[in-house]
Amino acid sequence: MELASGGSLDNVVKQRPVVAVDRVIQLAHQIASAVEYIHGEGVVHRDLKPSNILLTDKGVSKLADFGMATMLQSTAASALMSKGGTPAYLSPERAKGQEYGRPADMWAVGCILLNLIHGELNIGPLWDDS
């Protein structure tokens, strides 16, 4: 496993609330590419958040903590209805206990990018369940 001596993305936001736009774009591309790759392999991460994005000493992002990940093809649809994960990064369908899949990871990526743009980690759920 590669050493991620650059810390995690949540540390970046805590240390430097204002992240340059070009850096946000670079991170967005890296994270989206990594998620696209794992989805192509049939993996749904299910717990994407800034603390699970690690950075190398050169600032390259790496997905981490696959403890909640599952293989989409080998899992019954009912198993992809769990609410487990970090509430602020759950897609509406996950939070409501509805069936979900790869798009739920992309929702979390959008939340991560909002953290970077807004410069704050605790933004809360981005949807209204009323």
Contact (CB, 8 A) for 85 and 125:
no
| Whether residue 10 lies in the annotated active site | no
Contact (CB, 8 A) for 44 and 105:
yes
Burial of 10 from C-beta contacts in 10 A (0-12 / 13-18 / 19+): middle
Strands 53-55 and 61-63: antiparallel
Instruction: Tell me how far the alpha carbon of residue 29 is from its chain's centroid.
Output: 13
The catalytic position among 47, 57, 65, 105 is 47
- Catalytic site positions: 47
